[in-house]
Each structure stands twice: as structure tokens, then as C-alpha cells.
């Protein structure tokens, strides 16, 4: 395992969350990655032990990471992941375009928000500057 993980430039997790994969990647595995490695997780957050992952990024054991999943929904504004500069987080919709309902849903939200904007009412799914900055 050490030889495998130590040779990777990118570790991309693509597995289901099961009792066998929950916490599969912990401090030991994260420390096996080389400092220039990037971890990409588009599947389930809990495959990586949360506190070890946070420390890994804060202490820069690896170059960075990308998450399309989260440890809580919604991720609280005070969560430390919001303030980690070497982490990219996306809203877990990476595979949604293949859904037969995706475009209808997006157009519906757009139409509702256009009507709200014209009427000067709050928009759906709007994030404040503070939320975008993790405050």
C-alpha cells in the first residue's frame, strides 16, 4: 500500500460507501501520499476520515484536494474545510447532467429566480458573500 500510494500524483476515489470503505483513507494512508499529490473525492466523504483529512490539508501533507461530497449537508459555515486554501469543493452535482430531470430542474430554478429577481424578492439557492467566504 505504501509503495502504491507513495507513487501517485492523483488519488481519485471512486467507490461506494460501505462498512468496508468507511474511513478507508485515514492518517496513515494520507501520510503515505507524496507532498505533491492531489486527492480527488467525487463519491462519499466518509471514505476519508474527516479529522485526518482536515489536518492533512491544513498541515500540507499533500498539495491539495477536491471534494464533490461533504461530511454534512449543508456544511456548516464554521466548518474548517471552508477556510482551507488548498481545497476545492463543489456541490455534489458532478454526475447530474446525465439525469433525465436535470435540465428541467435547472430551468425551473432559473425561471423562478428570474421572477423573484424582477419582483425584488430573495433568490432561491443564493449564497451571501459571508457564506462564500466561509463565515
Mean per-residue pLDDT pooled into runs of 10, the chain (135 residues): 95 91 95 96 92 97 92 84 91 68 85 96 81 56
pTM: 0.69
Q: Per-residue pLDDT tens for 5-17?
A: 999 999 999 998 8
**String of b and e for 1-25 (b: at least 16 CB within 10 Å)?**
eeeebeebeebebeeeeeeeeeeeb
Share the mean pLDDT of the chain: 88
Confidence (pLDDT) at 85: 93
Is the bond preceding residue 103 a cis peptide, omega within 30 degrees? no
Amino acid at each position: 500500500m505504501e509503495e502504491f500510494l507513495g507513487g501517485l500524483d492523483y488519488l481519485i476515489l471512486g467507490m461506494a460507501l460501505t462498512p468496508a470503505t468507511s474511513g478507508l483513507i485515514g492518517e496513515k494512508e494520507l501520510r503515505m501520499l507524496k507532498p505533491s499529490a492531489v486527492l480527488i473525492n467525487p463519491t462519499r466523504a466518509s471514505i476519508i476520515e474527516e479529522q485526518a483529512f482536515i489536518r492533512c490539508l491544513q498541515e500540507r501533507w499533500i498539495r491539495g484536494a477536491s471534494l464533490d461530497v461533504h461530511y454534512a449537508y449543508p456544511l456548516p459555515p464554521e466548518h474548517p474545510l471552508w477556510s482551507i486554501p488548498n481545497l476545492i469543493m463543489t456541490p455534489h452535482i458532478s454526475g447530474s447532467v446525465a439525469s433525465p430531470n436535470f435540465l428541467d430542474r435547472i430551468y425551473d430554478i432559473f425561471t423562478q429566480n428570474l421572477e423573484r429577481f424582477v419582483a425584488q424578492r430573495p433568490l432561491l439557492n443564493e449564497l451571501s458573500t459571508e457564506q462564500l467566504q466561509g463565515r
